[in-house]
Amino acid sequence: MVSKTRCLYNSIVSLLENAGIDTPEIEAEVLLRWAFSTDRTGLYTGGKPFDKKDLIKLKDALKKRLKRQPLQYLVGRVEFYGYEFFCEPGVFIPRQETETLVDVAQLLK
């Protein structure tokens, strides 16, 4: 990550850690990628400069996450069993353990 992005990333990780979020590093990266509409490569190579609109989007999402709104609802996506699904409030968020249940169910066929 370029220095400004790294500084922003570290600040977000710190806020999430202090709020007791289980995976602050992963969530910080997801929020940054979502807010800046970039992939991991763009994030780590400093693809595009920060846009004020993107920073406001990130700040608003971070405030909601610190109040424990699910990350998946904030970014509108969830990955499950290797597929990406749209996700919004009112929709169940699949858990990692559910993938294990799918594996077991397939073995019982």
Residues 63 and 12 in one domain: yes
| DSSP 8-state symbol, 13 | H
**Per residue in 58-93, pLDDT tens?**
999 999 999 999 999 999 999 999 899 999 999 999
To which residue do tokens 């910080």 refer?
Answer: 28
Dist CA 48 CA 42 (whole Å):
7
| Residues 34, 87 within the same domain | no
| pLDDT recorded at residue 72 | 97
- Considering the domain architecture, whether residues 60 and 93 belong to the same structural domain is answered as no
Q: What is the pLDDT of residue 10?
A: 95
CATH number at residue 35: 1.10.8
Task: Name the amino acid, one letter, at 90.
Answer: G
With contact defined as beta carbons under 8 Å apart, do 39 and 33 qualify? yes
**pLDDT value at 11 more than 90:** yes
Q: Tell me, yes or no, whether 68 and 87 share the same domain.
A: no
Residue 88 confidence (pLDDT): 94
pLDDT tens digits for range 26-39: 999 999 999 999 88
* Same domain, residue pair 51 and 68: yes
Kindly write down the DSSP assignment for every residue of 92-104, as one continuous string.
PPPPHHHHHHHHH
Q: How many domains does the chain have?
A: 2
- Owning domain of residue 50: 3-72
pLDDT at 3: 74
Q: Examine the domain organization and report whether 10 and 40 are in the same domain.
A: yes
